[in-house]
Amino acid sequence: MRKKAENMKVLFNPASAAVVGASDKPDKLGFHVMKSLISGGFAGRIIPVNPNSDEIMGLKAFPSLADYNEPIDLAILVLPAKLIPGVFRECAARGVKGIVLITAGFKEIDDPGGADLHEEIAGIANDAGIPVIGPNTFGMINFHTNLNASFTPEFSRLMKGSVALVSQSGGISHLLGFLAMRMDVGFSKIIGLGNRLNVDFDQMVDYLMGDPDTRVIMLYMEGVDNPVRLLETAKKHHGKKPIIINKTGSSAKGDQASRSHTGSMAGRHEIYMGSFSQAGMLAVDHTEALLDTARAFASCPLPDGPGVAVLSGQAGPGMAACDVCEARGLKIVQFTEKTQQKINENLPPLALRTNPVDMGPAWYDASAIEKIAKAAMEDDHVDGILFMMVFASANVDALKGIRGLLEDWAQRKPLISCILSPPGVWDEQIKALEQSGSLINYPTPERAANAMANLWEYKKMQTR
Amino acid sequence: MRKKAENMKVLFNPASAAVVGASDKPDKLGFHVMKSLISGGFAGRIIPVNPNSDEIMGLKAFPSLADYNEPIDLAILVLPAKLIPGVFRECAARGVKGIVLITAGFKEIDDPGGADLHEEIAGIANDAGIPVIGPNTFGMINFHTNLNASFTPEFSRLMKGSVALVSQSGGISHLLGFLAMRMDVGFSKIIGLGNRLNVDFDQMVDYLMGDPDTRVIMLYMEGVDNPVRLLETAKKHHGKKPIIINKTGSSAKGDQASRSHTGSMAGRHEIYMGSFSQAGMLAVDHTEALLDTARAFASCPLPDGPGVAVLSGQAGPGMAACDVCEARGLKIVQFTEKTQQKINENLPPLALRTNPVDMGPAWYDASAIEKIAKAAMEDDHVDGILFMMVFASANVDALKGIRGLLEDWAQRKPLISCILSPPGVWDEQIKALEQSGSLINYPTPERAANAMANLWEYKKMQTR
C-alpha cells in the first residue's frame, strides 16, 4: 500500500508516458490520447506502443512495452479489455509506476466475465503497487506539468490554476471543463476515476491534500463503494483545504442509472448529504455550483464571521443579494457609527445609506463609490463585501475608478462581485482584475451571494 | 381610463418622440436618451427640446413643447422634478399621448414635497388620459419599432424577439438585458416601471396580453401597491400567455430596502408566492431563472404531460437531469415496447438502454443517435425530451448528424438540450439551430431540466 501511495506522485508527474494502443487513425481513442500528450505540451518522453506501426505522429513506435528499454513511469492503456491482463503483467515487469486505464468493459458490464477481469487486473496492480486511474475513464490531466493523459486534447485549453476535480463521470468532467473555459477557472488536475480499480475518492483526496498545486478540491460523485473511507479521509484533513462535493442519484431513476453505470451503489441521498457535511465537506446541489464555489475558494480569503455589507450601484441587485444572504445564514450587519458617517458624507440624504447601500446617487463619482466601499471594508462589523455594479452608459468609467481599492483590499476580506456590462464593455477589465486576484465576479447577484454563503459555511465547519 | 388604455398603444408605437431636457453633453441623461433614440434606429420624428440649444446631435432643437407645431405622440422627460408639473401641463395641452418620466425625486424620497409633486402630476396625467412610464425609471424599449426610449443606448444591441420584461428595478432590467445579450434571448419590450405614477404591473400585463409581438411576459417585482389588481388581471388572461415572475424582498433587509427604494410595501413573501401561483403566474426564485424559463416558453411547445425521456451522450449529465426532473414533478417514463425495441437495436446490451438512455456506446454513429432520439420522440409515453450531449474529440460531428431530426421535431414536442463544447467548437451550430427555432439549449443539465419542469408547471396551471 505504501508503495502505491508513493507511486501516485510519479503517476501525476511522470518523466515518460507510454500509450499502449497508440494510433494515427482519428477514429481510434489511441489517436486522441497521442494528440492530447503531444499538443498538451508534455515535456517528458512519449512512447507510442502498437505492433502494427513503426512511427505514430512523428514518434518511433514500439511493438510492446517489453521492446522499449528505458524506464517507463506512466502507461496509458487504450486496448480491448481482454488484452489488459497481459499488458498489466508487462507493466509490472517493466516497473511502470502508474497506469491510466481508459478501456471499458470490466465491472460495469452485465457479463460476469467483466467482473472477473476486474478482479484479475486489480490483483496484478495491487501486487505490484501500481495505482490505476480507471478503468472506463477518459483519463486524467495534470495542468502544472502539461500532462494531458486523456482522450480529450481540448482539456489543454483550460487555464492552469489551483482547483482540482475528481469525478466519477466523464460527461460531467467534460461539462465542467468546458464551462470552466467559459468562466476562466484555472485547474490543477482533473481526474476521471471511472470504475476505480484501486484508486478511489478517498485516495485522491489524500493525495490532493498534499499536492502543492491544489488549493480547492471538487468531487463529483454518483456512488461510492466505501463511503466510510472517504468520510474518514475528509475528517483527517479537516480544515486543510476545502472539499466541495456534488452527488447525483437523489432520484430513483438516477440511482438506478448510477448502479448500472459505474457498478456501485448510489445509496440514500439524504444520508450522504448529512455525512458529507459532518465530515467537513461542502455539499452543493448542482454542477454549476461546484465551479461557482470553487472559484471563490481559489481566490478569496475566508470571512471571519457572517457579517456582510451589500454595496450596490442599483437597489434591485442589492435586494436580490440580501434575500440569498439572509436565507443562507449571512447577516446584513449594521455599520459602525464611524462607517455610517463616512457613507453619509458621500451619499445624499434621500439615498438608501444603511446596509444594503444603494450607491446609485454617487453613480457618476467614482471617488465617492471608492470612499463608500473603503469605509465598509474597514468596518469591524463587516466580514465580507458583496459588490454589485451594473453598467449604464453614463458610468462607463466606474470600474476603472475602484480598481486601486479592489487591488488593495482583495486579500484582506472576501470581496465578491456581480459586475456586468453589455458583452465586450467591461469584460476585459473584469478578467484582468480576476487574473490578478483582485476580484471574483459572478453573472448574477444570487450566485455572488451564494458563493459568499459557501465561504462562510466552510469557515464555520473549520472552526467547529 | 379608456382613453389612457387607448393611448398605451401610441406610447409604445409613437410616430414622433420629444426629448424634453435633450442635451449634447455626455454627462447629462438627456444626451444618452437622444443617443438611444438615434442610434437605436427609431424611424419616427425625434424632437429635442432644450431652451439653451438650437441643434442637438444634428437635429433642430425647440425651446419648449409649445414651440413645436406638429403632433407629438411621446414625450420623454429628463428634467429636474420641480419643472415636471409645468411640462405635464404642456403635454396635456399639446395632446401628447404618452410620457416616459425618467426624472427621480418624487414619492421615493423622504421629503413630503416629493409625495405632493407625485400627486400633482398624477392628477394632470389622469385628467388628460396620458399613460406615464415612471417616474424614476431608465425608460422603456419597443424592439419591434426600434424605439429605445431609455438612457441606455446599449439596450438596442439586444435581439428582437418575443419576450417582454416589465421591471420595477432599473438595475435588474439592465442585468437581465446584458445577460440576455450573452444568451441570445430576443425581446419584444423592456419597460422600467419605476414608481408607477399611473401605469402599474396590472396595466402592463393587460397591454402585453394583447401585444402581437409578445409571447412571454417576465415580471421583476419588489413591492406592489395593489396586488389584488395584478392577481385579477393575471386570472382574467389565464392561459393566454405565460407570466413568469421573480420577486425580491423575502429578507427583512431586502423588504426594508424595497420600501425605501420604490415607496411601496414589499409585504410578506410567502403570501405573494402562493397568490402568484393561484393566479396562474409562474414564480421563480432568482433572476437568471426568469431568462432560463422565458427562453423555453418563447421557443418550445408545451408538454401534454409530465413524461420525460432523458437521452444523454454520457451517463452523468443524464443522471443530473433525472434528479431535477423527479424533484420537480416530471416523470422519467418507461418507454413503450416498440420504442424500447428500436433503442435496443441501436445500442449494445451492456449499455443503459432504458430511460435515462446512455447513448455513449452509439457515440461515433450519428445515425444510431438519430434513430434512438426519433424512437423516443415518437413514443406516446413521452411528452418531452431532455437531450444531453457533451463534446468529445471523437464525436465532433455528432451535432451535425442530428440536425435534421431537431429541425423536424422541435415544434411537435418540447425538446430541451444541454449540448456543450469547448468555446468556439459547437457554439455557432447551436446558435443557428436556436435561431431557427429547432433547439433550446442550456449550459447545464439541471438548468435544462428546470426549464422543462417550468413548461409542465405552466401547462398544469393552464388546464386546472
What is the tens place of the pLDDT at every residue in A273-290? 889 999 999 999 999 999
Nearest to A444 among B105, B287, B349 (CB): B287
Please indicate whether, in this complex, the C-beta atoms of B32 and A393 are within 8 angstroms of each other.
yes
Do you find a cis peptide bond into B135, omega within 30 degrees of 0?
yes
Query: How confident is the model at residue B259, as a pLDDT?
Result: 53
Three-class SS state of B300: coil
Read off the pLDDT of each residue in B146-155 and give the average, rounded to a whole number. Answer: 98
Query: How confident is the model at residue A255, as a pLDDT?
Result: 55
User: What is the Cα–Cα distance from B156 to B142, expressed in whole angstroms?
Assistant: 10
Query: How confident is the model at residue B317, as a pLDDT?
Result: 96
Please indicate whether, in this complex, the C-beta atoms of A32 and B182 are within 8 angstroms of each other.
no
Q: What is the percent of chain B with per-residue pLDDT over 90, rounded to a whole number?
A: 77
- Residues of A whose CB is below 8 A from B444: 175, 179, 286-288
Q: Which of A224, A49, A194, A198 is nearest to A120 (CA)?
A: A198
- Residues of A whose CB is below 8 A from B328: none
**Which residues are CB-contacts of B195 (< 8 A; sequence separation ≥ 6)?**
B106, B107, B108, B118, B134, B135, B136, B137, B262, B263
Please indicate whether, in this complex, the C-beta atoms of B422 and A110 are within 8 angstroms of each other.
no
Please check the confidence at residue A13 and state whether its pLDDT lies above 50.
Answer: yes
Nearest to A110 among B29, B171, B349 (CB): B349
Look up cell 466601499; give the residue. A373
pLDDT category of residue A363 using cuts at 50, 70 and 90: confident
Check if the beta carbon of residue A45 is closer than 8 Å to that of residue A16. Answer: yes
Higher pLDDT: B265 or B237? It is B237
- Widest CA span in chain B: 83
In this structure, the answer to whether residues A217 and A277 fall within a common structural domain is yes
Provide the b/e sequence for A45-60 (b: ≥16 CB within 10 Å): bbbbbbeebeebbebe
Angle between helices A366-378 and A337-346 (to 10 degrees): 180
Q: Min CA distance, A250 vs chain B (Å)?
A: 6
In this structure, the answer to whether residues A15 and A71 fall within a common structural domain is yes
Check if the beta carbon of residue B418 is closer than 8 Å to that of residue B317. Answer: yes
Query: How confident is the model at residue B5, as a pLDDT?
Result: 87
Beta bridge partners of B357: B311
Query: How confident is the model at residue A263, as a pLDDT?
Result: 44
Q: Min CA distance, A302 vs chain B (Å)?
A: 23
Which of B299, B332, B356 is where one domain is finished?
A: B299
Check if the beta carbon of residue A333 is closer than 8 Å to that of residue A309. Answer: yes
- Locate the chain A residue with the closest alpha carbon to B25: A394
Q: Which of A157, A154, A153 is nearest to A186 (CA)?
A: A157
Check if the beta carbon of residue B387 is closer than 8 Å to that of residue B403. Answer: no
The CA dihedral of A374, A377, A380, A382, to the nearest 10 degrees, is 140
pLDDT category of residue A265 using cuts at 50, 70 and 90: very low
Mean pLDDT (chain B) is: 92
Give Cα separations from A169 to A12, A172, B360 (angstroms): 20, 5, 12
Please indicate whether, in this complex, the C-beta atoms of A390 and B181 are within 8 angstroms of each other.
no
* Chain B contact present for A258, CB below 8 A: yes
Q: What is the percent of chain A with per-residue pLDDT over 70, rounded to a whole number?
A: 95
- Residues of A whose CB is below 8 A from B358: 257, 261
User: Which helix (H) or strand (E) is A217 found in, with range?
Assistant: strand A216-221
Read off the pLDDT of each residue in A210-221 and give the average, rounded to a whole number. Answer: 97
Query: How confident is the model at residue A456, as a pLDDT?
Result: 97
Three-class SS state of A190: strand
User: What is the Cα–Cα distance from A42 to A55, expressed in whole angstroms?
Assistant: 18
Which of A299, A320, A338 is where one domain is finished?
A: A299
Query: How confident is the model at residue B333, as a pLDDT?
Result: 96
User: What is the Cα–Cα distance from A303 to A308, expressed in whole angstroms?
Assistant: 9
**Which residues are CB-contacts of A143 (< 8 A; sequence separation ≥ 6)?**
A158, A159, A160, A161, A186, A187, A188, A189, A190, A213
pLDDT category of residue B404 using cuts at 50, 70 and 90: confident
* Chain A contact present for B43, CB below 8 A: no
- Worst-scoring range by mean pLDDT, A127-141, A286-300, A408-422, B331-345? A408-422
Give the dihedral sign, CA A117/A122/A127/A129.
positive
pLDDT category of residue A109 using cuts at 50, 70 and 90: low
Read off the pLDDT of each residue in B87-94 and give the average, rounded to a whole number. Answer: 97
Check if the beta carbon of residue A174 is closer than 8 Å to that of residue B363. Answer: no
Q: What is the percent of chain A with per-residue pLDDT over 90, rounded to a whole number?
A: 77
Which of B234, B268, B299 is where one domain is finished?
A: B299
Higher pLDDT: A255 or B269? It is B269
In this structure, the answer to whether residues A287 and A315 fall within a common structural domain is no
In this structure, the answer to whether residues A178 and A319 fall within a common structural domain is no
Q: Please indicate, yes or no, if residue B267 is contained in any of the structural domains.
A: yes
- Single pTM value for the model: 0.94
Q: Which of A60, A63, A65 is nearest to A52 (CA)?
A: A63
Look up cell 454542477; give the residue. A287
Q: Please indicate, yes or no, if residue B281 is contained in any of the structural domains.
A: yes
Three-class SS state of B267: coil
Q: Which of residues 401-430 of B touch A (CB under 8 A)?
A: 418, 420-423, 425
Domain with A89 in it: what CATH number?
3.40.50.720
Grid cell digits, residue B189 = 419590450
* Chain B contact present for A312, CB below 8 A: yes
Q: Strands B74-77, B98-101: parallel, antiparallel or unpaired by DSSP? A: parallel
Q: What is the DSSP letter of A62?
A: B
Please check the confidence at residue B261 and state whether its pLDDT lies above 60.
Answer: no
Give Cα separations from B322 to B252, B326, B357 (angstroms): 35, 6, 11
pLDDT category of residue A356 using cuts at 50, 70 and 90: very high
What is the tens place of the pLDDT at every residue in A417-446? 999 999 999 999 999 999 888 899 999 999
**How many C-beta neighbours within 10 Å does residue A270 have?**
9
Read off the pLDDT of each residue in B416-445 and give the average, rounded to a whole number. Answer: 94
What is the tens place of the pLDDT at every residue in B182-220? 999 999 999 999 999 999 999 999 999 999 999 999 999
User: What is the Cα–Cα distance from B425 to B427, expressed in whole angstroms?
Assistant: 6
- Residues of B whose CB is below 8 A from A171: 312-318, 388, 390
**How many C-beta neighbours within 10 Å does residue A190 have?**
27
Grid cell digits, residue B157 = 444591441
Read off the pLDDT of each residue in B132-157 and give the average, rounded to a whole number. Answer: 97
- Residues of B whose CB is below 8 A from A364: 27
Q: Min CA distance, B246 vs chain A (Å)?
A: 10
Query: How confident is the model at residue A365, as a pLDDT?
Result: 80
- Residues of B whose CB is below 8 A from A324: 286
- Residues of A whose CB is below 8 A from B151: 392-394
* Chain B contact present for A168, CB below 8 A: yes
- Residues of B whose CB is below 8 A from A157: 422
- Residues of A whose CB is below 8 A from B249: 319, 323
Read off the pLDDT of each residue in B386-406 and give the average, rounded to a whole number. Answer: 86
Query: How confident is the model at residue B1, as a pLDDT?
Result: 63
Please indicate whether, in this complex, the C-beta atoms of A171 and B420 are within 8 angstroms of each other.
no
Q: Which of residues 99-128 of A touch B (CB under 8 A)?
A: 105, 108-111
Q: Which of B95, B189, B102 is nearest to B146 (CA)?
A: B189
pLDDT category of residue B260 using cuts at 50, 70 and 90: low
Q: Which of A188, A147, A208, A157 is nearest to A16 (CA)?
A: A147
Q: What is the DSSP letter of B67?
A: G
In this structure, the answer to whether residues A94 and A230 fall within a common structural domain is no
Q: Min CA distance, B255 vs chain A (Å)?
A: 8
Three-class SS state of B333: coil
Check if the beta carbon of residue A340 is closer than 8 Å to that of residue A355. Answer: no
Q: Min CA distance, B238 vs chain A (Å)?
A: 28
Residue type, A170: G
Query: How confident is the model at residue A251, as a pLDDT?
Result: 72
- Worst-scoring range by mean pLDDT, A145-154, A166-175, B23-32, B270-279? B270-279
Q: Which of A421, A430, A367 is nearest to A393 (CA)?
A: A421
In this structure, the answer to whether residues A236 and A251 fall within a common structural domain is yes
- Residues of B whose CB is below 8 A from A286: 320, 324, 444, 446
Query: How confident is the model at residue A1, as a pLDDT?
Result: 63
What is the tens place of the pLDDT at every residue in B344-370? 999 887 678 899 999 887 777 878 888
Beta bridge partners of B99: B75, B132
In this structure, the answer to whether residues A276 and A322 fall within a common structural domain is no
Q: Please indicate, yes or no, if residue B332 is contained in any of the structural domains.
A: yes
Q: Please indicate, yes or no, if residue A223 is contained in any of the structural domains.
A: yes
- Worst-scoring range by mean pLDDT, A80-84, A329-333, A436-440, B87-91? A436-440
Query: How confident is the model at residue B263, as a pLDDT?
Result: 44
Please check the confidence at residue A370 and state whether its pLDDT lies above 60.
Answer: yes
First-to-last CA distance in chain B?
A: 32
Please indicate whether, in this complex, the C-beta atoms of B325 and A356 are within 8 angstroms of each other.
no
Q: Please indicate, yes or no, if residue B93 is contained in any of the structural domains.
A: yes
3-state helix, strand, coil split of chain B in percent (to 5) is 45, 20, 35
Please check the confidence at residue A167 and state whether its pLDDT lies above 90.
Answer: yes
* Number of domains making up chain B: 3
Q: Min CA distance, B350 vs chain A (Å)?
A: 5
Please indicate whether, in this complex, the C-beta atoms of A317 and B175 are within 8 angstroms of each other.
yes
In this structure, the answer to whether residues B52 and B180 fall within a common structural domain is no
Query: How confident is the model at residue A78, as a pLDDT?
Result: 97
What is the tens place of the pLDDT at every residue in B93-139? 999 999 999 998 777 666 778 889 999 999 999 999 999 999 999 99
User: What is the Cα–Cα distance from A190 to A163, expressed in whole angstroms?
Assistant: 9
Beta bridge partners of A74: A17, A98
pLDDT category of residue B266 using cuts at 50, 70 and 90: very low
Three-class SS state of A307: strand
CA A129 to chain centroid, in Å, comes to 28
This complex has an ipTM of 0.94
In this structure, the answer to whether residues B347 and B207 fall within a common structural domain is no
Give Cα separations from A348 to A341, A368, B110, B376 (angstroms): 12, 11, 11, 62
Please indicate whether, in this complex, the C-beta atoms of A392 and B352 are within 8 angstroms of each other.
no
pLDDT category of residue B253 using cuts at 50, 70 and 90: low
Q: Which of A108, A25, A45, A34 is nearest to A76 (CA)?
A: A34
In this structure, the answer to whether residues A312 and A287 fall within a common structural domain is no
- Residues of B whose CB is below 8 A from A449: none
Give Cα separations from B345 to B53, B348, B353, B381 (angstroms): 77, 8, 10, 19
What is the tens place of the pLDDT at every residue in B369-384? 889 999 999 999 999 9
In this structure, the answer to whether residues A325 and A450 fall within a common structural domain is yes
Q: Please indicate, yes or no, if residue A394 is contained in any of the structural domains.
A: yes
In this structure, the answer to whether residues B420 and B358 fall within a common structural domain is yes
User: Which helix (H) or strand (E) is A425 found in, with range?
Assistant: none
**How many C-beta neighbours within 10 Å does residue B464 have?**
9
Q: Please indicate, yes or no, if residue A49 is contained in any of the structural domains.
A: yes
Domain with B257 in it: what CATH number?
3.40.50.261
Q: What is the percent of chain B with per-residue pLDDT over 70, rounded to a whole number?
A: 95
- Worst-scoring range by mean pLDDT, A79-93, A133-147, B397-411? B397-411
- Cβ-based contacts under 8 A for chains A and B: 274
* Chain B contact present for A396, CB below 8 A: no
Q: Please indicate, yes or no, if residue A69 is contained in any of the structural domains.
A: yes
Please indicate whether, in this complex, the C-beta atoms of A27 and B260 are within 8 angstroms of each other.
no
Q: Which of residues 357-386 of B touch A (CB under 8 A)?
A: 358, 364
- Residues of A whose CB is below 8 A from B29: 394
Check if the beta carbon of residue B378 is closer than 8 Å to that of residue B405. Answer: no
Read off the pLDDT of each residue in B158-163 and give the average, rounded to a whole number. Answer: 97
Query: How confident is the model at residue A266, as a pLDDT?
Result: 47
Alpha helices in A70-111 (DSSP H): 84-94
Provide the b/e sequence for A223-245 (b: ≥16 CB within 10 Å): bbeebebbbebbeebeeebbbbb
- Residues of A whose CB is below 8 A from B253: 310, 322, 325-326, 332, 355-356
User: What is the Cα–Cα distance from A130 to B8, expressed in whole angstroms?
Assistant: 75
Q: Which of A38, A244, A72 is nearest to A147 (CA)?
A: A38
What phi and psi values does residue B46 have, to the nearest 5 degrees?
A: -110, 125
| Burial zone of B9 (CB within 10 Å; 0-12 exposed, 13-18 middle, 19+ buried) | middle
Please indicate whether, in this complex, the C-beta atoms of B316 and A248 are within 8 angstroms of each other.
yes
What is the tens place of the pLDDT at every residue in A21-58? 999 999 899 999 999 999 999 999 999 999 999 999 99
Read off the pLDDT of each residue in A84-90 and give the average, rounded to a whole number. Answer: 97
* Chain B contact present for A171, CB below 8 A: yes
Query: How confident is the model at residue A260, as a pLDDT?
Result: 52
| Owning domain of residue A208 | 158-299
Please indicate whether, in this complex, the C-beta atoms of A316 and B394 are within 8 angstroms of each other.
no
Please indicate whether, in this complex, the C-beta atoms of A252 and B326 are within 8 angstroms of each other.
yes
Read off the pLDDT of each residue in A127-150 and give the average, rounded to a whole number. Answer: 97
